[in-house]
Structure 1
């Protein structure tokens, strides 16, 4: 019998001898990762045997309906139910055997003649410029994205260093996209970022570990609870309008296969920004998922979608080159850059975009990375100031990139391109961030201790969490 207490015990086999061990206090043994980790990150204590999911019979079942395929135990279900991310066979054989290389309902390769803007965009190699604009008339878009909580650890960097007086060539302030997670987030600060015109996107409620849980184990319902739940939390405690939530990023960039994208399509998300591409020259442009992705998944724990998701955009992450290494983000580079390397890494990779097809250049960071080094921040600011001297470089949000791709607009006409302009936003008093927010000390049965949360709204009864986004229980 496996219990929470017994979950700390494990066995090691050496030279045909079995030795019993026990994890240190506060740790439990994770069967999947085969090591002792923090107790709150272990979710498989009840697992004692590996579940083998059988391969379905498919056409061999001889289904009476030609549009059906057979489960392993005989029953027939519609072919589109296979590998869609939701178990429909009693033995789960319609899902458990699928992988990124085999799906009977896989998306077809790009057909440019059948994929037309503004609703669909693809190219055979993924590197062609939308609207076939020449390079000199294509703006170089740069997307700054930050993933994780927004709080005192990074607020000064955003409010006093990066987003002060810097402006794009059209006179509007530079903007960024924030993929916000729940724990330790100051919701007043999120509200202020939104007031200032930055894009607020979703990075889940829990950011739970292990990382591979998101790609391998999270169900469609889990993705809904985490992502739509976080949108509900931000809407309630930061007053960000629900229609402004367009995108999400999987925690740790652990793409969740068809399950993630099925949830996104069903609940109105417009884009994902989790998929890391291989290194190519020229780099990839964003694309819609009407057709097969133009590249393989390249990152760790990336379980990319195989199905067609019409109109859903992938804001693909082109990796950075750092010496002989490639990194999805600066904070993920195996070798920590020296101070003087940060500017050079950014500038060299910028040129790889700017001097070729001008695919959007993404700079993706964990929310605390710039806090780790004052020198990194100085180098980062120097890079921004240097490229803003160019007349065709714009720091825009992911949402603004998609709007441009839908209507490719030459550089000379960008000062009248409405999605990139900065008119005064009409906000109600209710939506404007307050100068003096409330600090709430909230109990949490799930987390087993009190948590603090800062918001301009009234304090909830308990700390918001999965399936209790408004803290009412």
Structure 2
């Protein structure tokens, strides 16, 4: 049995749990977006709107997301541009076929990782994550293959809560195997020290009638912009007001072909950024926080969520400029007042 702090120690090991070691009020609410499949030019327009560079987390740095890229229909120049923006690029197989063996995982992961490296500006040390097509996995053989290839996490294993009031599990390492119910067998039963899994925590549909394994897969589909917005925000609040486990949105970009869908998501992201304790980050950034949990009052010092040097320089310049303008304004005010009242 995994016991945090006894036989499992951060940053290399974290036990499966529904309750983090920190008090929920000390935990930044992590929100991550994980988009699957090929990356095309029309999707880039949606990403540019939803994740525009002027949308910032409370620490002043741009929000981010993760793309799980498959080999079919990916336009690599577009992928390069998205990578330049700081979005995380991960692997979703080369063929987008059902994967049943560790050997198939190995071939698909190597092939698509090589495609991403060879045809875009992404380097091998930037690629950390894997997700299986259709969330069908090879269980222990899959994890072993990914570890051998130096992947550090997998986002393929599903957890389904029964109601909106139930808690979702936190990401954890497989030092003691997959300890949650196995919704889509096989799940890893063996020990895989130091390898992280981010459970695909199924959302509840907008009526809280049933589960949706991806954001865009509900049987009871929201039909209007308001229903879609409420579906998103109700699930968010269940995390924010619950155990503060990361809130993941797993989906496909073609869902944005309907105007009411992208309008609802745009409004939801806008409203999330009104919170001073909500951070929209990539999955790899979320796991960096898991490895070194940092309380909200110290989160500005947390390096993995800091901006790039250029962005930090721009922010610093703006702060200095505002300070200078204030000093100048005060000086002018004092001079005018001394002239008037000598």
Counterpart in the other structure of 1:314: 197
Deviations 1:91-125 (A, max 9, x none): xxxxxxxxxxxxxxxxxx323320110100004xx
1:282: how far off?
A: 1.8
Aligned partners of 2:219, 2:268: CA distance in 1, in Å?
A: 22
Check if 1:223 corresponds to 2:109. no
Counterpart in the other structure of 1:40: none
1:182 to 71, 75, 82: 71
1:251: how far off?
A: 0.5
1:424: how far off?
A: 3.1
Of the structure 1 ranges 386-395 and 323-332, higher mean CA displacement relative to structure 2 is found in 323-332
User: How do residues 266-305 of structure 1 correspond to structure 2 at under 5 angstroms?
Assistant: 266-279=148-161, 281-298=166-183, 301-305=184-188
2:86 to 177, 197, 217: 197
- In structure 2, the CA distance between the partners of 1:239 and 1:364, relative to structure 1 (3 Å rule), is same
Counterpart in the other structure of 1:110: 2
Aligned partners of 2:27, 2:70: CA distance in 1, in Å?
A: 34
Find the residue that maps to 1:368 and give its secondary structure: helix
Q: In proportion to residue count, which structure has more helix? A: 2
Q: TM-score, normalised by structure 2?
A: 0.86
The number of aligned residues is 304
Counterpart in the other structure of 2:304: 419
Structure 1 contact 149–367 (Cα < 8 Å) conserved: no
Structure 2 contact 70–96 (Cα < 8 Å) conserved: yes
Per chain length, whose mean CA-contact separation is higher, i.e. which structure has more relative contact order (CA < 8 Å, sep 6+)?
2
Check if 1:173 corresponds to 2:67. no
Find the residue that maps to 2:193 and give its secondary structure: strand
Aligned partners of 2:50, 2:149: CA distance in 1, in Å?
A: 36
Deviations 1:378-412 (A, max 9, x none): 01111111111010000011111111111110111
Structure 2 contact 50–265 (Cα < 8 Å) conserved: no
Counterpart in the other structure of 2:127: 245
Check if 1:342 corresponds to 2:342. no
Check if 1:370 corresponds to 2:256. yes
1:133 to 13, 22, 29: 22
RMSD of equivalent CA atoms: 1.5
Structure 1 contact 248–273 (Cα < 8 Å) conserved: yes
Check if 1:410 corresponds to 2:295. yes
- In structure 2, the CA distance between the partners of 1:408 and 1:243, relative to structure 1 (3 Å rule), is same
Structure 2 unaligned blocks of 5 or more: 312-342
Q: Which has the larger radius of gyration?
A: 1
Structure 1 contact 223–260 (Cα < 8 Å) conserved: yes
1:425: how far off?
A: 6.6
Structure 1 contact 318–328 (Cα < 8 Å) conserved: yes
Structure 1 unaligned blocks of 5 or more: 1-108, 427-473
